[in-house]
Amino acid sequence: MKLIKWALIITLFVTCCSTGYLSLRKTEVIAVHREGNYSFIIVKKFPLTTSGKIKWWKINAHSLKENYHIPEPDEDGIFTVIIYDYGNGYQELKPDADTFFPSDDLDYLICFEDMPVKANCIRKDSSIISIGRSRYGTMYYRVNGAGFHQKPGGPLIRDY
How far is 66 from 69, CA to CA, in rounded Å? 6
The pLDDT confidence band at residue 95, using thresholds 50, 70 and 90, is: confident
- pLDDT tens, residue by residue, 6-47: 766 777 766 655 555 545 569 999 999 998 889 999 999 999
Q: Answer yes or no: is pLDDT of 59 > 90.
A: yes
Handedness of CA 42, 126, 56, 136 (dihedral sign): positive
Q: Would you say residue 93 lies in a domain?
A: yes
Domain holding 113, by residue range, is 26-158
Q: Would you say residue 80 lies in a domain?
A: yes
Total count of domains within the chain:
1
Q: How far is CA 103 from CA 96, 106, 109, 111, 156, in A?
A: 7, 9, 14, 18, 41
Predicted pLDDT at 2: 75
Q: Would you say residue 13 lies in a domain?
A: no
